[in-house]
């Protein structure tokens, strides 16, 4: 039986990808961030031995457009190409999928959980997914794990509630556990933390909120599910509403899952958070 063994909440700041591509991870501004992920890489590879990763992310109007933007979209393909976000295609291997496992997840979400998802057989992935992969996994010619991309609309209102994202996580867990093959699965929720990149509040950063959020997602996720979009954006900036995707990760692991790693770094205009949690089996 497949099982969820790990949950990861992490930021997906696009400039991280540029730093990786230029090999500047050891520069003074970035070394504290990348150093925090080194134990995460070894934990995922050597301790929980992850085979598959379900990555919850948002497409930043790259593969999707505001003309047609699905609330929840799930990849169902054996491979996902790297998208061009306007600066050329990053020098990364394509993301490998698991067609059979993805098809099972999609069937379960639609038939058993009544989630009306958009199923994507052709899906290009961008920094929302790629940056977390860079941070948590090393790669050579290929990535060491296969991926199921789960894209959530946090750009174009109306967007799903925090509670709906949490319920999606619980549905994903049940889908994983009904798959008949032996797989160790990690669920990664991405986005945020506090930041606003437009308007009069450009550069808004709330480190107090970010650390409160990291506390609550570990021990009291219901408090986060009860927050409205307006409350979250008022405290942490408009783009911080991406944090509802972390609740999908939290819903996919057990209530008593315990924290393994935690880090917070905010030298710029965006709070960069990390939490990893190990599931109880």
Query: Model-level pTM?
Result: 0.97
Residue among 108, 195, 204, 229 flagged as catalytic: 195
> DSSP labels for 128-168?
HHHHHHHHH---SSS-SSEEEEEEE--SSSS---HHHHHHH
- Going from N- to C-terminal start, the domains of the chain cover 3-278
Is 280 a residue whose pLDDT tops 90? no
CB 124 within 8 A of CB 147: no
139 part of the active site: no
Residues 6+ away with beta carbon under 8 Å from 87: none
CB 152 within 8 A of CB 248: yes
The whole-angstrom separation of Cα 189 and Cα 244 is: 9
195 part of the active site: yes
Give the residue-averaged pLDDT of 133-157: 97
Quick one: pLDDT at residue 281? 59
Read off the pLDDT of residues 189-201 as tens digits, 9 standing for 90 and up: 999 999 998 888 8
What is the CATH code of the structural domain delimited by 3-278? 3.40.830.10
Residue among 12, 60, 127, 229 flagged as catalytic: 127
Is 159 a residue whose pLDDT tops 90? yes
Read off the pLDDT of residues 225-273 as tens digits, 9 standing for 90 and up: 999 999 999 999 999 999 999 999 999 999 999 999 999 999 888 999 9
Instruction: Give the whole-number percent of the chain exceeding pLDDT 90.
Output: 94
């Amino acid at each position: 039986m497949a099982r969820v063994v790990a949950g990861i909440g992490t930021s997906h700041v696009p400039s991280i990808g540029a730093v990786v591509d230029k090999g500047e991870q050891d520069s003074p501004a970035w070394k504290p961030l990348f150093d925090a992920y080194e134990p995460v890489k070894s934990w995922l590879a050597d301790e929980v031995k992850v085979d598959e990763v379900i990555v919850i992310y948002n497409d930043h109007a790259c593969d999707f457009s505001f003309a047609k933007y699905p609330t929840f979209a799930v990849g169902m393909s054996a491979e996902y190409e790297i998208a061009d976000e306007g600066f050329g295609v990053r020098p990364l291997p394509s993301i490998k999928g698991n067609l059979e496992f993805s098809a099972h997840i999609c069937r379960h979400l639609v038939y058993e959980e009544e989630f009306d998802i958009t199923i994507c057989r052709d899906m290009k992935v961008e920094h929302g997914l790629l940056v977390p992969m860079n941070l948590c996994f090393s790669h050579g010619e290929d990535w060491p794990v296969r991926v199921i991309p789960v894209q959530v609309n946090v750009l174009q209102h109306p967007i799903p509630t925090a509670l709906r994202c949490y319920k999606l996580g619980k549905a994903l867990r049940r889908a994983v556990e009904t798959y008949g093959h032996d797989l160790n699965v990690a669920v990664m929720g991405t986005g945020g933390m506090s930041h606003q990149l437009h308007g009069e509040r450009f550069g808004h950063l709330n480190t107090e909120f970010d650390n409160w959020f990291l506390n609550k997602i570990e021990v009291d996720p219901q408090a986060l599910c009860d927050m409205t979009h307006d409350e979250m954006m008022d405290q942490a900036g408009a783009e911080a509403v991406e944090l509802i995707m972390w609740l999908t990760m939290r819903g996919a692991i057990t209530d008593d899952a315990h924290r393994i790693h935690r880090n917070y770094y905010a030298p710029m205009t965006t709070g960069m958070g990390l939490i990893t949690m190990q599931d109880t089996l």
